[in-house]
Amino acid sequence: MDKLNKILISPKQSIRHALKQIDSAGEKILFVVDSDNTLLGAVTDGDIRRWILKGGKLGKPISSAMRTKPITLSEGYAKSEARDLMVRKSIECIPIINSDSKIVSAIWWVDLFQERTKLNKKLNLPVVLMAGGEGTRLSPLTKVLPKPLMLIGDKPIIERIMEKFSDYGSKDFYLSVNYKSSIIKAYFHDVNLPYNIHYIEEHKPLGTAGSLHLLKGSIKKTFCVSNCDILIEADLADILEYHKKSKSKITLVGSMKHYTIPYGVCGVGPNGMLSKIDEKPEYDFLVNTGMYILEPEVIKLIPKDKPYHMTDLINKLMANGETVGIYPISEKSWLDMGQFEELKDMLKRYGVQ
């Protein structure tokens, strides 16, 4: 029952609260219930994503974003019925309701199937990992070991990133290398991984996108680019589907970031006098995670052998009238090890003290 209670939410709670509750529960769905546990609706991380993309405010009640006719099963259901429903609808949790429409329990994918990853679609998406940076924010650790090989538990961060893409069928990885590239190559020479690894050699630092010019003619279909110090806990198939539906040339994966100013913030009027005080105001932002989906034709826009950043490429596309999409994910779906405090958080999430 404790597991169920973690995914029940009052219709009066804010969408911001629901997003935090989804993160905390580790599930992708919440069921909206009244005080008697009568099912009123359901909201998924995808519903909240769509709410954000259409400009909805996170302070609004969750009832504004919920679906009022969620998929349910009645008491006495057959397991075969639940299995069929989960596979057909690609859902991981179904509420069980009684004759009064009150939730009495729920059934999860893992209750019926051994492997959670069976829900993953196989995309075979080529992946470019930007592994050439010096990792100066993690110095002096990176004076010895390149950041992509820093251990998260018993595996380097780069290997964990590759495993996540491999869950969706990715086999071709292009590693953009520069700083301590010989150490990175030596590591992959010594380990037996079921991937095709290709190296993009930067002879000088080329920024966050400059080395992609070297892939001209090598990648001829939609591909992914990721920084080598992040882990994204999101549905890659859904990101790709959003990218295709929006007809974007690039889709940026953006993470929600919530900030509370721990003071009263003063407003000053045109006469130089105090106009208002906002006590501990809260702000929400979408920030760039460093993961992107790209169409292959954008490679030709990147100059040869010159420092060039992904932001330069995005700005050029927008200036040319092309569509650039953004796919929001929750704050806890983005793990970044770019600085020491963030590295500690990542290690904690992976159970490493």
CATH number at residue 8: 3.10.580.10
Q: Are residues 185 and 103 in the same domain?
A: no
Q: How far apart are CA 305 and CA 203, in angstroms?
A: 9
Domain boundary among 64, 90, 110: 110
Whether 312 is in a domain gets the answer yes
310: closest CA among 175, 211, 232?
211
**SS3 category, 211:** helix
Residues of the domain holding 69 = 2-110
Domain boundary among 52, 75, 110: 110
The confidence score (pLDDT) of residue 91 equals 86
Query: Which run of H or E residues covers position 47?
Result: helix 45-53
Whether 167 is in a domain gets the answer yes
Q: Residue 165, class by beta-carbon neighbours within 10 Å (0-12 exposed, 13-18 middle, 19+ buried)?
A: buried
Q: Are residues 137 and 76 in the same domain?
A: no
Q: Are residues 219 and 344 in the same domain?
A: yes
Whether 46 is in a domain gets the answer yes
Structure tokens at 190: 């010594």
212 contacts: CB under 8 Å, gap ≥ 6: 128, 176, 225, 299, 302
Whether 115 is in a domain gets the answer no
Q: Are residues 129 and 106 in the same domain?
A: no
The confidence score (pLDDT) of residue 269 equals 93
Provide the CATH number for the domain around residue 318: 3.90.550.10
Q: Are residues 316 and 178 in the same domain?
A: yes
Measure Cα distances from 210 to 184, 201, 277 in Å. 20, 11, 46
Q: Are residues 185 and 293 in the same domain?
A: yes
**SS3 category, 325:** strand
Q: Are residues 99 and 222 in the same domain?
A: no
Structure tokens at 207: 């920024």
Whether 96 is in a domain gets the answer yes
71 contacts: CB under 8 Å, gap ≥ 6: 42, 85, 89, 91, 94
Q: What is the pTM of this model?
A: 0.85
Q: Are residues 125 and 105 in the same domain?
A: no
The DSSP secondary structure of 117-174, one letter per residue, reads GGG-------EEEE-----GGGTTHHHHS-GGG-EETTEEHHHHHHHHHHTTT--EEE
Whether 181 is in a domain gets the answer yes
> What are the pLDDT digits (tens) for 108-124?
988 888 655 445 678 98
Whether 106 is in a domain gets the answer yes
Per-residue pLDDT of the chain (353 residues; tens, 9 = 90+): 688 999 999 999 999 999 999 988 888 899 999 999 999 999 999 999 999 999 999 999 999 999 999 999 999 999 899 999 998 888 889 999 999 999 999 999 888 886 554 456 789 899 999 998 887 777 777 888 898 998 888 899 999 999 999 999 999 999 999 999 999 999 999 988 899 999 999 988 999 999 999 999 999 999 999 999 999 999 999 999 999 999 999 999 999 988 899 999 999 999 999 999 999 998 889 999 999 999 999 999 999 999 999 999 999 999 999 999 999 998 889 988 876 677 777 777 776 65
Q: Are residues 257 and 130 in the same domain?
A: yes
Q: Are residues 225 and 296 in the same domain?
A: yes
> What are the pLDDT digits (tens) for 159-174?
999 999 999 999 999 9
- In one-letter notation, the amino acid at residue 271 is N
The confidence score (pLDDT) of residue 92 equals 87
Measure Cα distances from 249 to 76, 112, 114, 302 in Å. 49, 39, 37, 14
Q: Are residues 189 and 150 in the same domain?
A: yes
What's the CA angle centered on 253, arms 236 and 295, to 5 degrees? 75
Whether 144 is in a domain gets the answer yes
Q: How far apart are CA 272 and CA 278, in angstroms?
A: 17
Tell me how many domains the chain contains.
2
Q: Are residues 213 and 96 in the same domain?
A: no
Domain boundary among 50, 80, 110: 110
Q: How far apart are CA 290 and CA 67, in angstroms?
A: 31
